Structure 1
Amino acid sequence: MKINVSGHHVDITDAIRKHFDEKFAKIASHYPSLLTLDVIVSKDHNHFYTEINANYIGVHLSVKGEDEVMYPSIANAAKKLDAALRHRKGQIKANKHEKITG
Structure 2
Amino acid sequence: MQIELSGHHIEVTDAMRNQVEEKLSRITKHFPSLTKISVFLTVERKEQSAELITQYMGAQVAVNAKELDMYAAVKSAAKKLEAALQHRKGALNANEKQKPAA
Q: Would you call these one fold, judging by a TM-score over 0.5?
A: yes
The yes-or-no answer on 1:86 pairing with 2:86 is: yes
**Which blocks of at least 5 consecutive residues in structure 1 are unaligned?**
none
* Alignment RMSD (CA, Å): 1.2
TM-score, length of structure 2 as denominator length:
0.94
| Counterparts of 1:56 and 1:98, CA distance in 2 | 21
Tell me the CA shift for residue 94 of structure 1.
1.2
Residue in 1 aligned with 2:41? Answer: 41
Code of the aligned partner of 2:37: L
Count residues in correspondence.
102
Tell me the CA shift for residue 75 of structure 1.
0.9
TM-score, length of structure 1 as denominator length:
0.94
Q: Percent identical across equivalent pairs?
A: 38
Tell me the CA shift for residue 76 of structure 1.
1.1
Q: Where do residues 16-95 of structure 1 align in structure 2 (5 Å cutoff)?
A: 16-95=16-95
**Which blocks of at least 5 consecutive residues in structure 2 are unaligned?**
none
Code of the aligned partner of 2:78: A
